[in-house]
């Protein structure tokens, strides 16, 4: 059994740069899917209101799929699913699905609340960034040159101090 918190700590300890790492994404997702003990607290303005266990949630979903397609009893399906160890390939599917959901949902114009956690209450929203002119240093010179940054899309993060932290 993988210990998600231990794997997250190992990735954090070995990280000396902030660049993206597909390998680390897969390692952490796989650990979250396979660790039945990994839970995160869910918070709202009144404080902690529950816990979320990614492994248990995905196993419920998969057992429902097994039951619906094979017509075997739910308890038997759950027993089979509980024995399954999610692979790197499975983790990659969940990562890609999660990313596409975020990108697609943000284009609706609605904010995406990521949910209250022990130290955060983050929401994301789509932001249209207009074309603008910026001054940039000229290569191998102290001169500056005007560069046009074209209009593009971005994400704005909203992260006030949560009421349960105050």
Alpha carbons 48 and 38: distance in angstroms, whole number: 17
Is residue 53's pLDDT more than 90?
yes
**What is the band of 17 on the pLDDT scale with cuts at 50, 70, 90?**
confident
At 7, list the tokens: 């794997």
pTM: 0.84
């Amino acid at each position: 059994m993988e210990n998600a918190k231990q794997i997250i700590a190992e990735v954090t300890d070995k990280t000396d740069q902030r660049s993206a790492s597909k390998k680390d994404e897969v390692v952490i997702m796989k650990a979250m899917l396979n660790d039945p003990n990994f839970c995160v607290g869910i918070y709202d303005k009144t404080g902690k209101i529950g816990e979320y266990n990614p492994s248990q949630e995905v196993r419920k979903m998969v057992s429902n799929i097994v039951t619906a397609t094979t017509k075997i009893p739910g308890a038997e399906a759950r027993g089979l699913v509980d024995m399954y160890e999610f692979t790197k390939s499975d983790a990659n599917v969940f990562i890609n699905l999660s990313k596409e959901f975020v990108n697609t949902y943000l284009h609706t114009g609605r904010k995406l609340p990521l949910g209250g956690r022990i130290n955060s209450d983050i929401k994301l929203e789509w932001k249209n960034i207009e074309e603008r002119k910026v001054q940039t240093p000229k290569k191998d010179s102290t001169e500056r040159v005007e560069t046009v940054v074209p209009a593009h899309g971005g994400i704005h993060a909203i992260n006030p101090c949560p009421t349960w932290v105050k």
